[in-house]
Amino acid sequence: MERILKCSKSVLKSYPAGKYIFEQGGIPSRLFLLLEGQVQICKDFTSGKRDVLYLVEAGNVFGEIFLFGDRKHYWYDAVAITDVKILEMPWDFFYHFCSNACDHHKQLTQNMLEILSENNFKITRKLHIVSTSSLRERIAIWLIDAMDENAVVNLPMNREQLADFLGVARPSLSRELMRMQKDGLIEVDKKMIRVCDKEAVEMLYGA
């Protein structure tokens, strides 16, 4: 790790909650590795609406989709949800191998290609969710994908963030969750949702 940091000329930065790490229209030049905290990848509109694409947890990277390609400006925002610590790595490190052709350099580039593939899957999954015709279907798809072996979803985001992720208003989301609970499909707690009737929820997914 020390060799990578020295070779890449990476820098460690801290951002307070609510701070933009980068904004739409900015010029991409670095890869971001989140060491501590949580970052929200989103797109803000002039109307005040925010579309949440996904959340970044500690140990993951972001800004990577601009690494290989010819896009000159950021298309979305990266906002610190909590106080965060981030390692910022210049792109030149990925485009040019050093004269020693270090093994760690090659491995990091390979890892980045795997990360790009995984994040592409996340975006494809998000498109699948928001393309459904009803809010209940969106919730069903999200629940099936997010629940553990005990049919429990430990919410990685608050209700406002979940509403933004699903592309709906928070009151609409809350009402539909309460309807689904009344229908015996789910049980809603503050930071947890339990799927009570897995078969019925899966039927919504295929509706």
DSSP string, 129-159: HHTSSSHHHHHHHHHHHH--TTSEEE-SS-H
Residues 167 and 100 in one domain: no
* Residue-level pLDDT at 174: 92
| The domain boundary residue, chosen from 74, 104, 128 | 128
Q: How far apart are the first and last CA of the chain?
A: 49
Q: For the chain, which ranges sit under pLDDT 50? A: none
Tell which of 128, 144, 160 closes a domain.
128
State the pLDDT at residue 158: 85
What tokens does 132 get? 């459904």
Predicted local distance difference test score (pLDDT) of residue 110: 66
pLDDT of the residue at 159: 86
DSSP H/E element including 2: helix 2-8
**Chosen domain end from 109, 128, 147:** 128
- Residues 20 and 63 grouped into a single domain: yes
Report how far apart, in Å, the C-alpha atoms of 51 and of each of 2, 15, 34, 109 are: 37, 22, 21, 30
- Output the pLDDT for position 182: 94
How many domains, in total, are found in the chain?
Answer: 2
Domain identity same for 117 and 22: yes
Cα gap 92→80, rounded to integer Å: 25
pLDDT score at 106: 67
Write down the pLDDT at residue 65: 77
Whether 185 and 145 share a structural domain? yes
Helix (H), strand (E) at residue 164: helix 159-166
Domain of 28 in residue numbering reads as 2-128
- 119 plus 143 within the same structural domain: no
Contact 200, 185 (CB under 8 A): yes
pLDDT on residue 161: 84
